[in-house]
Structure 1
């Protein structure tokens, strides 16, 4: 569970102040979107498109500000602010939402679906919408869209990796969600949770030995300066969403709510396709900066991680998801 910290208290105070404003002062609404990604990331370009389209369609009655590099705090902190009713949103994965609604965690489970179109079928399905409704009731969060694909995640190390046994004793950064940590543990490494902004200095200072990441994030954070090997395990197919405060969202007019959700979905597709088109270029950038990119037999990693579903209670849910993918 999240505890009440200084950020939460500030968010509560902000929300209370907003409720006290006269109607005229609330005629224009603003949403502050936080992301750990850099300005060069395809998803950031999608956020810019969303910002511009929402402003255009709403005639500036709803504006969006984007904060890259986790300027508003870690994902968990911003989710906490949203629970308090603040006008914030965050680009976040399902694993972090599983603390509120368990079902979301399956989206971050290993080797679930292939590519953008595969996982998109899941996050635009009626099944997924039941999770969205449950999240509103349970935690007070509103999902705007969840089709922001960031690509497959691979191993970033300073030594070659061919099989799970090569990861024994390797301290690998992961997000703090159980599904991420259990997967990395099953692959043979020692999961070490920390914020994305801490990864570069942690690798540089050898606080951690490795990280797992998608290509855009690897290049955006210049991890080629602190690591030399990329092993293409594709253990996670990273799909993320934009999640905001249900209390803030409900104060918008129905028209603005529709505009925000429609443009969020459209921008997610735009950003995801841009990611698909950019992957080869990211690999070239990594190679030019001295990284070795290795293909690997994925079967040993797939076999090693299958127990994660049973351990976390996702066996039946996985079967439901796989039906959607047929």
Structure 2
């Protein structure tokens, strides 16, 4: 075994031991971890720890809390969901690796990140691939997407619980006023590290910088990066409106995400409980997504009231600039055609 692989396995085992010992979460007092290895009521208690980069103010986070409550109620507290906000369990990729090897963890994650394992799924994170949540949801409920889910489970031991958690459309956050792609030249913008995201920011004219979302605020403040791109609830939750002057409404990504856990962990649940988890993940994803849509204007107004300038721009030049992403990434032209067929677009 190589030194690199040995170190990785030691890291994963260490994190798993830490999770087993950890009794708290960022969102609740009185952890139920003490019951994870014992008996409660009529049977064993199963605990799933969900990691998210989002803050408690985010409607998706609140949707996870509703998911937690409904699963607990319908399983007589024998399936326990614990929520870890602000990325407190670590980077999404690290949490996914832990889930692969059987840890009782899950993560709210985008398709771009999952494309590192199933390349086709990354099309959902491509620029301007869909115009709104309804279109994104139609794709994620399709047979095409179900095939990608199966591939993720069979080949990578990861199970999608539901992929209908809409976080909003993403815009540019800068201290320079942006009206057209050329205005981004020379700017370094944070974006998630997945290839489709970085290629999109490059195509728009900026230099992409990968870093954890929790590092964006100090990164802008200290001049490490010139800005970022994000959806309104996340921007507000991370107080990014305090360190940038402008939000430019490009809507270049419609951010639809899913809850992904380890396939082995899900298989350990009694079938009845598996069904409940899937059903409640789907139901609460829909509710959280609608709540997100309903609150987007409210988040925007709060940031305007705090002093940020929000600008509407002609998005056609940005659409044109990002066409190169479909040309550069292998298979994306054909994948876009498949998505358009599902949506009834020419």
Q: Would you say 1:323 and 2:323 are equivalent positions?
A: no
Question: Which position in structure 2 is the counterpart of 1:184?
Answer: 201
* Residue ranges of structure 1 left out of the alignment (5+ in a row): none
Residues 79-99 of structure 1: CA distance to partner in whole angstroms, max 9, x if unpaired?
111111100000000000011
2:28 paired residue number: none
Instruction: Provide the TM-score with structure 1 as the length reference.
Output: 0.95
1:148-297 correspondence to structure 2 within 5 Å = 148-297=165-314
Q: So what's the TM-score if we normalise by structure 2?
A: 0.90
**What does 1:73-88 align with in structure 2 at a 5 Å threshold?**
73-88=90-105
Q: Equivalents in 1 of 2:39, 2:219: separation in Å?
A: 48
How far apart, in 2, do the equivalents of 1:71 and 1:279 lie?
A: 25
5+ residue gaps, structure 2, are 22-35
Name the count of aligned residue pairs.
Answer: 323
Q: What SS does the aligned partner of 1:95 have?
A: helix
1:4 is aligned to 8
Please show how residues 11-160 of structure 1 align to structure 2 within 5 Å: 27-160=44-177
CA shift digits 1:103-140 (9 cap, x unpaired): 11111100011111110001111111100000011211
Contact 1:54 1:263 in 2 (8 A): yes
Task: Verify the 8 A CA contact 1:94 1:104 in the aligned structure 2.
Answer: yes
User: Alpha carbon RMSD of aligned pairs, Å?
Assistant: 2.1
Report the 3-state secondary structure (helix = DSSP H, G, I; strand = E; otherwise coil) of the residue aligned with 2:8.
coil
1:9-60 CA distances to partner (integer Å, 9 max, x unpaired)?
235668999xxx9996971101000000000100011001100000000111
Following TM superposition, the consecutive aligned residue runs of length 4 or more in structure 1 with deviations greater than 4 angstroms are 11-17, 21-26
Contact 2:37 2:45 in 1 (8 A): no
- In 2, Cα distance between the equivalents of 1:291 and 1:160? 11
Shift of 1:74: 1.0
Check conservation: 1:15, 1:85, Cα contact below 8 A.
no
1:243 counterpart SS class? strand
- Taking a change above 3 Å as real, the CA distance of residues 68 and 16 of structure 1, as seen in their structure-2 partners, is closer
1:143-162 per-residue CA deviation (whole Å, 9 max, x = no partner) reads 00000001100000001001
1:266-310 CA distances to partner (integer Å, 9 max, x unpaired)? 110011000010011011111011110000000100000011012
With over 3 angstroms needed to count, the CA separation of the structure-2 counterparts of 1:201 and 1:255, relative to structure 1, is: same
> Is the CA contact 2:37–2:44 (under 8 Å) kept in the aligned structure 1?
no
